[in-house]
Structure 1
Amino acid sequence: MPSDAETGYHYGVIRRAIERIDAAGGRALPLDRLAAEMNMSPAHFQRVFSRWVGVSPKRYQQYLTLGHARALMRERFTTLEAAGALGLSGSGRLHDLFLTWEAMSPGDYARRGAGLTIRYGFFPSPFGDALAMATDKGLCGLAFTEETGRAAALDDMAARWPAAEFAEDAVRVAPLVEAPFSGTGEARLHLIGAPFQIKVWEALLSIPSGQVTTYSEIARTIGHPTAVRAVGTAVGRNPVSFVIPCHRALRKSGALGGYHWGLPVKRAMLAWEGARADAEAG
C-alpha cells in the first residue's frame, strides 16, 4: 500500500488531470497527451493512476464525468434502512475499518467547546493536504485544504468550537488519522454537533462505499421528511469529512450539489470509491 505522502502526491497529479479533463469539455484525452500535460512520461503517469485508484487513466476519465453521478443514482442508490442493516463492515465500507463514535452531550455542545482542548495537525491524504483535529476521545474534525488553503480551513473548523483551546500537535493526532486513510484498524470519532446534526451524520455513516443516497432520503430516514434543506445544511456542517461520507449525498437529479471543501474533491472521492468498488467486484 502506498504511503500517505505518496497518495497525497498522487492526488496532486489527479487534481491537475481533473482540471485538464474538464477543460476538454467531455472529449476523451489519450494517455500520451494527458501525460504530457502533466509533464510526465506515459508509463509514469499510468503507474501513478494505478497506484492511486487501481484503474487506467482512460477508465478513470469515465468516473470523473458529470454523468458518473447520475449513473450512481441509477445503479447504486441505496436506501438507508437497507444500508444500515449491513453494518459498517458491509459492502466494502472503508475495507476493514472498525469505527466507533461518541457524541458530546447537549450541555457540552451548548458550551461551544469551553474547557475542551482540541489538538490538530496537517497530513497528506489520498485527496491532498488534510487538516485533522482531535479531542482526547477521538477525531473531531477532518478537512481538505486543496481548494481553500490551510489557514482558511483551520479558521473554518476552529469557528465550530469557538470557546475551545487549540494546540498544534500532529504527533498526538497522527494515530487517529492513519486508520481512516489506510482503511484498517479502529477509527474513533468524537462528534460535536446539535442533536439534529448528529442524526444526519449517523445516517451518512450507513451509506456503503461506492454507493450514494439523496438529501431527501436522509430526511425521510431520520423522521423529518420535509426537512430536506435542513438536512443539506447539516451535511455541509459535517466536521469529519470522508469518514462521515457526506460526499455520498447527492440531489435527486443526480447533480452533485455542493461540497464544503470544493466540488473537485467530492468528484475525486466519488470516482476513487467507484473505481475501487468496481475493481473489487471484478
Structure 2
Amino acid sequence: MSSLYRDLALASPSLGRPKSVWDDIRDMHRVRAEIIAREADRRIEDISTAYDSVSLENAQLKTRNDVLLDKLDTLERDVRALKLTSAEAEKSEATLRTEVSALDVETSRLKVDNARLEEENCKLQSRIDCLVTCPPCVSPCVSPCAPSPCLSPCVAPCVPSFCPGRCERIEWRIFGMTSKFRTVSPLACLSSPTRKCVRLPIERIELDFYPNGAAGAPPRGCSVVIRCTRGTTLTFQVFMGCKRSATVTHSFTGWAAGGYRHDFPRVREEVEPCDDAICLGLDIFSCSKNGRTWVA
C-alpha cells in the first residue's frame, strides 16, 4: 500500500490542496489500471515471444513431418516391391518344384528303362556270343611282352572252334590298311585308345598292333600286344577278323614289359575289302585281381 500511496502522491498535480475521498479512490483506480495495463503488456509480450517460439518449433516439426512422410512413402513403395518380388519368387519356386518333381519322375522312368535295356543287352550279347563261330589261330606258345618290339613269336595252325557263351569284348577297327601295310615299318605299331571294361574291374587296357609284324613274326603276318594294369590276371581270346587264338590265361606284371603278344599269319586275308579295314580285339571271360575273380 505504501507504493500505491507513493504513486498517488506523484500522480497528484495539486498536492497543496486537500483531496477528497473520491479523488483518492479515482487516483487509486487510475494507478491500478496503469499497473494492470503494464502487467498486461508484459504478459502479452511474453505470450508473443512464446507464440513465436512455438510457431518456429511447429514449423520445424512440420518440416520434419514432411521428411518422415517422404521416407514413409519410400518405405511403403519398397514394401510393395518386396511383396511383389516375394510373390514372384514363390511362383518361381513352385514352378521349379514342379519341374524337379517331373524330372525325378522322368529320371526314375529312365533308370527303369536303362535297367531293362541293360538286361536285354546282356541277353543279346550272350546270344551273339553263342552264335559266333570262328576258325581260331591256336598256339601252345604264350609269351609275355618284352620292353622292345622284339617279342617271341607264337604262331599255330588254324582249327575251327566255338567262342564261349559270355564274355566282355574289346574291339578295335583300323581303317586304311592298304596304305598302312606300305607305310608302317615292321618294328612300328599302332596303339588303340585306352579302354576299360564295364562288367569287369579292368581300369585300363590297350592294344598295340604291328601290321607288318614285330621282331620274329612270321612272313606276311602281324603281331598284337595286349597291355593291362599291373596285378591283373585275364582269361581271354585274341581275334583278328575270322582268326582267333586259343583261350589264354595271362598275368600282367607291368604296363611296358608285362604284356601279352600273339602273332597272326596271313594278315592280309582278314582285311575287309568294302571299307579297307581290319577288326581286332579280345574276348575276356574272367578277371582276377587282389585275390578275387570276376566272370563276365
TM-score (norm 2): 0.22
Larger Rg: 2
TM-score by length of 1: 0.22
More helix by share: 1
